[in-house]
Amino acid sequence: MPTSAYRLADPLSPYLALTRHFALVMQMARRNVAGRYRGSFAGLFWSFFSPLLMLVIYTFVFGVIFKSRWNEQTTNHFQYAMVLFAGLNISTFFSECAQRATTLIVEHSNFVKRVVFPLETLTWSTIGSGLFHLFVSTIVLLAVLPFVMGYVPWTVIFFPIVVVCFLPFVAASVWLLASLGVYVRDLSQVVGIVTMALMFLAPILYPRTLIPVPYRALLYFNPLTIIAEASQNVLVFGRPPVWSHLAFYALASWLVAWLAFAWFEQTRKGFADVV
Amino acid sequence: MSSDDFSIRVEGLSKRYEIYAHPADRLKQMILPRVQRAVRRPAHAWFSEFWALRDVSFEVRKGETVGIVGRNGSGKSTLLQMICGTLNPTLGKISVNGRIAALLELGAGFNPEFTGRENIRLSGLLYGLSEQELDARHDAILDFAEIGGFIDQPVKTYSSGMYVRLAFAVAINVSPDVLVVDEALSVGDEAFQRKCFARIDQIRASGATVLFVSHATGTVTSLCNRALLLDRGELLTEGSPKYVVSRYQKILYSPADKYQSIRERIKSAKETDAFLVEEKGPLRAMAAGIAGADEPDVLEEPAADDRIATKLVADKAAGNGCGKEAGGSFFEKGLVPKSTFRYDSHGALILDPHVETPGGRRVNILEAQREYVYAYRVRFDRTARDVRCGMLIKAVTGLELAGCITSWHGQSLRRVEAGSEVEVRFRFPCLFASGAYFLNAGVQGCVAGEDIYLDRWIDGAMFKVLHQPGRLATTTMDLGIKPEIRVATGVTVR
């Protein structure tokens, strides 16, 4: 195993890691999801209950107390909470995966030292369990939308496409952070701050139009911006995503995943020495 | 032998552990030396190094069971980990033919929060089984593990025995081509251990290769047909388990000041060819070796003054009716152990361990059911106190069958002056099945206030027991078990 089990020059290699070990990835992802609630009284019920509770709190705080409005045109105070939730789900999905990534390898030191394990698949199983929570939150949002807005937009069907464009970027972050996290143990502290910054610096809590024009373009350096906006568009506003943005994002995201995967495969040789 | 006949091939394998003070140094080591070379500066090393394994080469053929012995820290686990692929070799090459299942750290892939059933699934996938294969083997694994209703409980509630049984059951039911076992068999009760060994035998019989690491040298000698001795990362010697284990023990008990010289001696010595005939099992190899020397070189005539022996046999004949005229046993010069191994002497020397008839006629081809004497002399170079002598009879596999000491500590020869010689005789009935047996000799005593082995021989003498027609006892020992069979009800024709 001195060299990678993949042909790294192949731009599809990151996805081979998924397809080759699909059963294993699914089992691990299931284990991640179930593991979080294992032994708790209400079990999987929490994965539905906690996003629902959050949504209710947002609605109350921002709709009733702050009477926030997403923009001038809307009169519906509760819409703000819906838009916030749609964007926040994306950011939560990302920060959950990124935060887990920093300790991913160290926590599974057994898999590094004691059994022969395709470590690269840990990324996909982390994403898998993150996707489960994103899926549940989205279902909760779609269930509440009719009561608040009176409809569920048809553009919901585009949501999976938006997520698929996002995944390579998340995978790239996980591979990169997982690898670096082995060597630089302070990483998890840094990642907590960075993911929070990314959330605040994306149009999630506020619309892009609120930002002064000179700074507005900077927003697009935030990798969450395009996806969060697309998510708000298709889930709440009933607008299709901006296809050109999304296409560009998909391309960039896939490129980064390729590089990060190659980095991971190159640096994994040293894991056993320091884990 | 064709080139793809091997199962594991290790060539010039070395492992350097790079010890990093900080994990970040590992990352620097990966990147900075390349940069430094690029700007033509000398590359800096960010680690201190430790060579766990140096230039180890060997080959394991398909279907062989090979044991690896060595002291703690000799590199056994490193070697196994590299063979299994969890560690990268620094230098050298490993080729493994076929699916490899490792019992390195049993249950390492288990999650304590999950039920036994879920963990079976997970570790099965880790071993590379497909979902269908897993479904097919699920019942066999459950049967083997004997966990019963606990299988649906989280494994954190398991006793350590149950935990390991389950892990073992999974590992051993994946039908590996190569099975790597590291100290794993010391778990479970005897019945379970027996079952594990039976299963390993089964795996072996199906043509799989087994690589086995253990400190239990008895297990190595009885299970393996070849062994390797690792010490300080070097392959010191290889050969028959008996040969290798005796060298291992020598290393293990060597005093610090003699360690180097002992090590060099073992390294330079080669096992005699007779011991390398292992493929048909050591017993048969031994028997073949003896049968090969068709005409015994020396066949001593029964000594004329062998009256005591005759009388003894006569007594026995009167007692149990199995005695014959003496003289069936004889001496064959070529029949000497090739595995003789002497520990360093500490003030006394064991001389001439041998077997004789009670009358004093030297023999080494014995008849079953007669009495013989195992005798040796001990010459004392230093005055010793509390002298006790001992013996041990072992089977070809190294299995210890019976032993005896002249007395317990405190009731022994009080004081033996330097220069004196002591004669020790152990009279024993030959209750063994046909085959070869080996004898140890040892003298313990107190020299300079320290109670130690004054001298010790492993396989100092050997004897062979002739086949006895009509013997009803099976396996090694004949304890005079009396069989009885009758028709309880109904009719039978004899």
Predicted confidence (pLDDT) per residue in B184-196, tens digit: 556 566 667 777 7
Top-confidence residue, A12 or B219: A12
**% helix, strand, coil for chain A, step of 5:** 75, 0, 25
The encoded tokens of residue B317 equal: 């004949």
Helix A187-200 and helix A159-183: axis angle, to 10°? 150
Q: What's the pLDDT at B254?
A: 76
Sorted by sequence, the CB contacts under 8 Å of residue A22 that are 6+ apart come out as none
Contact A115 B109 (CB under 8 A): yes
**B143 vs B134: CA distance, rounded Å:** 14
Q: What distance in Å separates the CA atoms of residue B197 and residue B182, rounded to the nearest whole number?
A: 13
**Chain A hits for B29, Cβ within 8 Å:** 270
pLDDT tens-place string over residues A101-119: 999 999 888 788 777 788 8
Q: Which residue of A has its CA nearest to B127?
A: A116
For B400, the 3-state DSSP assignment is strand
A107 contacts chain B (CB < 8 A): no
Contact criterion met (CB < 8 Å) for A1 and B85:
yes
The answer to whether the Cβ–Cβ distance between A115 and B130 falls below 8 Å is no
Q: Does B91 touch chain A (CB under 8 A)?
A: no
Give the whole-angstrom CA distance, residue B127 versus residue B117: 16
**Of residues B473 and B282, more confidently modeled:** B473
Q: Kindly list the distances between the CA atom of residue B378 and the CA atoms of B59, B220, B401, B459, in Å, as whole numbers in the listed order.
A: 43, 32, 24, 16
- State the burial class of residue A46 (Cβ atoms within 10 Å of its Cβ: 0-12, 13-18, 19+): middle
Q: Kindly report the number of other CB atoms within 10 A of residue A25's CB atom.
A: 23
- Out of A23, A39, A183, closest to residue B26 by CB: A183
DSSP string for B335-381: ---S--EEPPPSSEEEEEEEEE-TTS-B-SEE-TT-EEEEEEEEEES
Q: Is A25 part of the contact surface with chain B (CB cutoff 8 Å)?
A: no
Amino acid type, B413: L
Say if residue B284's pLDDT is above 70: no
Partners of B348 in the beta sheet? B380
Tell me the pTM. Answer: 0.65
Q: What is the mean pLDDT of residues B364-373?
A: 89
> Are B48 and B25 a contacting pair, CB within 8 Å?
no
Instruction: Name the residue facing B88 among A38, A185, A269 (closest C-beta).
Output: A269
Q: How many CA atoms lie within 13 A of A132 on its CB side?
A: 18
How far is it, in rounded angstroms, from Cα A80 to Cα A76?
8
Chain A with chain B: Cβ pairs closer than 8 A: 82
Residue B38's H or E segment, with its range, is helix B23-38
Residues 6+ apart with CB under 8 A from A74: none
Residue A116 vs residue A242, higher pLDDT: A242
The rounded mean pLDDT for chain A is 89
**pLDDT tens column, A226-235:** 999 999 999 9
Beta strand residue intervals within A137-189, DSSP E: none
* Closest listed residue to residue B209, CA positions, set B6, B57, B8, B62: B62
Long-range pairs for B24-27 at CB < 8 Å and ≥24 separation? B24/A183, B24/A184, B26/A182, B26/A183, B26/A270, B26/A273, B26/A274, B27/A180, B27/A183, B27/A184, B27/A267, B27/A270
Locus of tokens 């070809």: B396
Are residues A38 and B23, on separate chains, in Cβ contact within 8 Å? no
| pLDDT interval class at A196 (50, 70, 90) | very high
Cβ of A115 within 8 Å of Cβ of B121? The answer is: no
pLDDT value at position B106? 65
Of A178-187, B159-168, B181-190, B469-478, the range with the highest mean pLDDT is: A178-187
| H or E element that contains B69 | strand B65-70
- Beta carbons of B113 and A38 less than 8 Å apart: yes
Q: What is the model's pLDDT at position B327?
A: 60
Q: Does residue A262 surpass a pLDDT of 70?
A: yes
Residues B103-122: tens digit of each pLDDT: 766 666 777 777 888 888 88
Q: How far is CA B27 from CA A256, B398, B463, in A?
A: 20, 50, 63
What is the sign, positive or negative, of the torsion defined by CA atoms of A24, A27, A32, A38? negative
pLDDT at B425 over 50: yes
Q: Determine the pLDDT at residue B4.
A: 67
Check B84 against A116: CB less than 8 A apart: yes
Q: Which residue, among B428, B375, B377, B361, has the nearest Cα to B401 in the 3D structure?
A: B428
B109 interfacial to chain A (CB closer than 8 Å): yes
- Integer CA distances (angstroms), A251 to A94, A167, A169, A174, A256, in order: 18, 12, 10, 18, 9
Q: Any chain A CB within 8 A of the CB of B23? A: yes
Instruction: Kindly determine whether residue B126 and residue A115, on different chains, have CB atoms separated by under 8 Å.
Output: yes
pLDDT tens-digit series, residues B137-178? 888 888 888 888 888 888 888 887 788 888 888 888 887 888
A23 touches chain B (CB under 8 A): yes
- How far is the C-alpha of A140 from the C-alpha of A129, rounded, in Å? 17
Q: What SS3 class is residue B240?
A: coil
